[in-house]
Structure 1
Amino acid sequence: MQHEKLIEQFNLRSRLRFNLDSGHIWLGENRMLMFHAQAFGALRKELFDSLGAKRAKGVLLRMGFASGRHDAELACKLSNQLNPYDAFQIGPELHAFEGLVKATILDAKIDWEAGTFFGEVEWQNSWEAESHIQHFGVGEDVACWSLVGYASGYTSYFLKRFIVFREMECTGRGDPRCFIVGKPAEAWNFDDDYLDYFQPDNVECKLRQLQDDVKQLTATLSAQQTPAGRLVGSSPGFRAAFELVSKAAKSPISVLLLGETGVGKEMFARWLHEHSDRADQPFVAINCAAIPHDLIESELFGVQKGAYTGAQHSRPGRFERANGGTLFLDEVGDLSPAAQVKLLRVLQTGEIERLGDDQTRKVNVRLVAATNVNLQTAIAEGRFRADLYYRLATYPVTIPPLRERKADIPLLAAALVEKYAPTYHKKIEGITDRAMQALLAQDWPGNVRELENLIERGVLLAQPGGQIELEHLFAAGAPEPQNGVEIGREGFIGDAVEANRGRLYDALLNEGFDLEAHERRLVELAVRRANGNLTHAARLLGVTRRQLAYRLKQDANASE
């Protein structure tokens, strides 16, 4: 892989040194600092809260610019006699090596003599986008300001002129990737004040104006936004569904919620009720799939005394109990044909008849239905009435599955921790970075319900006052982590396998190492594992068959 070649070519691993006695971390001549991403994310949030969005972006961008210039200096020292483009490519590897982002250069048109530059870079696993989503949710603007600053500073150092990168796509605003474009400042046709972010700003003299601006903005946002309450999310898919539900809340229109099992259809239905004009009236829910077909009609429409054997008392059905309020029919696609006919009649007339009764009763019910069944397919197969579908589907709202709105996972997880921590009498300080990465990597066939189960398990197993760790979440075992790196005894950093080998060799030497005896044991073990096949045994040992046969002959002669 090109990535590994560059790391080995420039000997990056050995240049990162940890001196635990003096408290230093060095990358070449540069002192490095290791921060918790969550702590740095909290500082980033405080910048936005205290300085306002514009000044916070500028601070982050200029900080990244300085970091990029430092790494460019290091890259020049590492590259020695390399051509400029090969040296330039060290930058993305340094960025990944420092744990900030995985950068891939998609296009780079560079003329070192003329100082012209055009570049396109794709980012994966941006720490800044992840942190922004955790603290603010998916927003309208791009989020990777320090990383953009880094790219600008790094490239400007190499080109000896002011190169400006700008983020065009960002997962922090719901895009599928982070993507940046860079070119000389004068080649951009800016129609905004983007270049101002590169200029230092005097915060103190404008603080009062900033406070007024923030107050006005907060008031404007409060007036414009509809409170989501228990509905949590900020991804584009969630916002689209929530916007539709918000517009329908105050009206009497019937709503059909569509989506996979576990996406939170009942939560949306409850929100509809709580924000409707019927909020002070009953909310009644029934899962049509959980009730046998021969009982569903009595559950929905009620029973008159004597209607059937055992019906010793009259009782109202769910429609009567929901009168004046909202009735939520979950899994409506599983209704029996007979129940579908009666439901259609209720929707048309506003009247119900109890089972075994000939008296009609007027009901005033706002109906919200939900299903994970493709009703149009069910109609084609004769399992669902087309006329009932058109009555129910007046206002359909599709709730996307969790795998399509992973930006909501940090927000949902935080809300669920807050929900379950009091239940288990614990204070939980959130979720570790490694655990959050595992949550984001899941496919979530069970959607929000599956996430809720995992978080509840995590709250139960986490230490009071601690964080939910990876091992607390998964009952079937935590996902295998990617190979990490460990610190060697001499202050070098290497992969975990090499570190384990080093410890093994140290232990062997400390025991009084006998090289001949250990070689003989390795040969015997390889021959046994290959079931006597010398060709396979030689392959295990990394020698030729002839070399192995010669060694075995020597050992046999020595033992005679």
Structure 2
Amino acid sequence: MKVSDIDFRKMLKFSPETGRVLLGSDRMLLFRQEAFATLRRLMIDQLGERLARGLLAQFGYRCGLGDFEALNAQYEWDSERDRRAAGSVMHMWEGIVLVEGATSEVDPETGTFHLKGNWRNSYEAEIHLAEFGISDSPVCHSLTGYASGWCTALLGEPVIAIETMCLGKGDAHCAYEIKKPAAWGPEADPWKAALAVTDTSLSQELERKLAEVEQYRATVAAIETPIIQVWEGVVVLPVIGAVDTQRGEQLTSTLVRHVADEEVSCVIVDLTGVDSVDTRTADLFVKMARAVGLLGARCFLTGIRPQLAQTLTQMGVELQGIRTLRNLRQGLEESLRFLGYSVTRSHAHLVSDSSDSDED
């Protein structure tokens, strides 16, 4: 068989009665390009560029390897040149890319294997530009993977294909080059790394990313729940912005855990910065104060704005046992009194009062 004999119009068998398209005995699939573009974008967005590149490269590698094995099992090639060139022709018949200017330098005696050429109308460059715009590096990961897979099957030993030019990074067209791994310098390292991605490394990378996400969430939670120690045994939780049920539960959980771990005696929950609450959230502040009390600490609610006060009243929330104060300063004074200090504003100092005097 000559490479020019490859013709999908004759080689493909369409069998709608069985829901299959066959190339020999192998099932082939037809997908819309924009659907694959969505999948590719989600991979990059969700997994990151490095992991997505590895998956796309190995997807292409498996396609190239499988195409070689399928054709090699069905046909006898007229020459090694036909066998070698068939990969590029398959790429074109499959609608992947147009291959032009292909050259080869192959010498089995010296072990030389060097192929190169140009790619035009790369589907992968096209969808990358549409989804992400110009890239800083080549983007045709499945194409290089395919070339690596085909040539690896052809030689029976590893071969690495790279892109030396890419439309996706602003070049006039894409260009490829294929060599054995030892013949490459560090310029091929990204392509080697992509093909070296394994299930284990994927799992490790995903675990690392999940850890990063959890760390980010913890950081955000710390920012949204800034528990500040203002005196020994006294902490302030300033609540700022809108509070929904989820955030209210998070605030309560974080505060209760802090009180238990740090031996806190007094907690001031300052609500001056609360923009809006619903009826369920308003009740959460009351439950928060009671939860703190169950741990043996005193809780003061300060800075309750008219809207929150009205909501609590409409709900008929029972505030018995919960001290509410006008502002943060009053909350701090009451906390210090609870700890046995006498607060004298006019002289701006505190005096330890063993008699627990409440005089101001």
The TM tier, using the shorter chain, reads 0.5 to 0.7
TM-score (norm 1): 0.36
Separation in 1, partners of 2:114, 2:212: 37
Map of 1:163 onto structure 2: 159
Separation in 2, partners of 1:208, 1:81: 47
Map of 2:183 onto structure 1: 187
Residue 50 (structure 1) shift = 1.1
Residue 209 (structure 1) shift = 3.0
Map of 2:195 onto structure 1: 198
Map of 2:354 onto structure 1: none
Q: Quick one: structure 1 residues 182 and 199, their matched pair in 2 at CA, closer, same or farther if it must change by over 3 Å?
A: same
The DSSP-based 3-state class of the residue aligned with 1:89 is helix
Map of 1:51 onto structure 2: 47
1:69 equivalent in alignment to 2:65: yes
Residue 215 (structure 1) shift = 11
Residue 155 (structure 1) shift = 0.7
Q: 2:27 aligns with which of 28, 31, 40?
A: 31
1:94 equivalent in alignment to 2:83: no
Separation in 2, partners of 1:194, 1:73: 23
Separation in 1, partners of 2:25, 2:101: 26
Pick the structure with more strand per residue.
Answer: 2
Map of 1:16 onto structure 2: 12
Separation in 2, partners of 1:209, 1:81: 48
Residue 124 (structure 1) shift = 0.9
Residue 114 (structure 1) shift = 5.0
Separation in 2, partners of 1:33, 1:162: 27
Q: Quick one: structure 1 residues 196 and 109, their matched pair in 2 at CA, closer, same or farther if it must change by over 3 Å?
A: same
Residue 22 (structure 1) shift = 0.5
Residue 30 (structure 1) shift = 1.4
Separation in 2, partners of 1:17, 1:156: 27
Q: Quick one: structure 1 residues 205 and 77, their matched pair in 2 at CA, closer, same or farther if it must change by over 3 Å?
A: closer
Letter in 1 for 2:30: M
Q: 1:83 aligns with which of 75, 79, 82?
A: 79
Q: Quick one: structure 1 residues 175 and 81, their matched pair in 2 at CA, closer, same or farther if it must change by over 3 Å?
A: closer
Map of 2:273 onto structure 1: none
Residue 113 (structure 1) shift = 5.1
Listed as ranges, the matches of 1:444-523 within 5 Å are none
User: What is the number of residues matched between the two proteins?
Assistant: 213
Q: Percent identity among equivalent residues?
A: 31
Map of 1:329 onto structure 2: none
1:183-220 deviations in Å (ceiling 9; x for gaps): 0001111264542211234333333533577999xxxx
Q: Quick one: structure 1 residues 33 and 215, their matched pair in 2 at CA, closer, same or farther if it must change by over 3 Å?
A: same
Residue 103 (structure 1) shift = 1.4
Map of 1:143 onto structure 2: 139
Letter in 2 for 1:67: C
Q: Quick one: structure 1 residues 197 and 8, their matched pair in 2 at CA, closer, same or farther if it must change by over 3 Å?
A: closer
- Unaligned runs of at least 5 residues, structure 2: 216-360
Separation in 2, partners of 1:124, 1:41: 18
The DSSP-based 3-state class of the residue aligned with 1:35 is coil
Separation in 1, partners of 2:190, 2:123: 25
1:240-270 deviations in Å (ceiling 9; x for gaps): xxxxxxxxxxxxxxxxxxxxxxxxxxxxxxx
RMSD: 2.6
- The 8 Å contact of residues 2 and 78 in structure 2, kept in 1 or not, is answered as no
Separation in 2, partners of 1:193, 1:126: 20
Residue 58 (structure 1) shift = 0.5
Listed as ranges, the matches of 1:292-331 within 5 Å are none
The DSSP-based 3-state class of the residue aligned with 2:21 is strand
TM-score (norm 2): 0.55
Residue 89 (structure 1) shift = 1.3
The higher radius of gyration belongs to 2
Separation in 2, partners of 1:214, 1:48: 16
Listed as ranges, the matches of 1:422-433 within 5 Å are none
Listed as ranges, the matches of 1:7-406 within 5 Å are 9-77=5-73, 79-112=75-108, 115-190=111-186, 192-201=189-198, 202-210=201-209
Separation in 2, partners of 1:132, 1:162: 28
1:377-433 deviations in Å (ceiling 9; x for gaps): xxxxxxxxxxxxxxxxxxxxxxxxxxxxxxxxxxxxxxxxxxxxxxxxxxxxxxxxx
Separation in 1, partners of 2:126, 2:99: 15
Residue 88 (structure 1) shift = 1.5
Separation in 1, partners of 2:184, 2:65: 21
Separation in 2, partners of 1:125, 1:36: 16
Residue 12 (structure 1) shift = 3.7
Residue 75 (structure 1) shift = 3.3
1:483-518 deviations in Å (ceiling 9; x for gaps): xxxxxxxxxxxxxxxxxxxxxxxxxxxxxxxxxxxx
Letter in 2 for 1:140: D
Map of 1:220 onto structure 2: none
Q: Quick one: structure 1 residues 214 and 179, their matched pair in 2 at CA, closer, same or farther if it must change by over 3 Å?
A: farther
- Unaligned runs of at least 5 residues, structure 1: 217-560
Letter in 1 for 2:98: K
Letter in 2 for 1:26: L
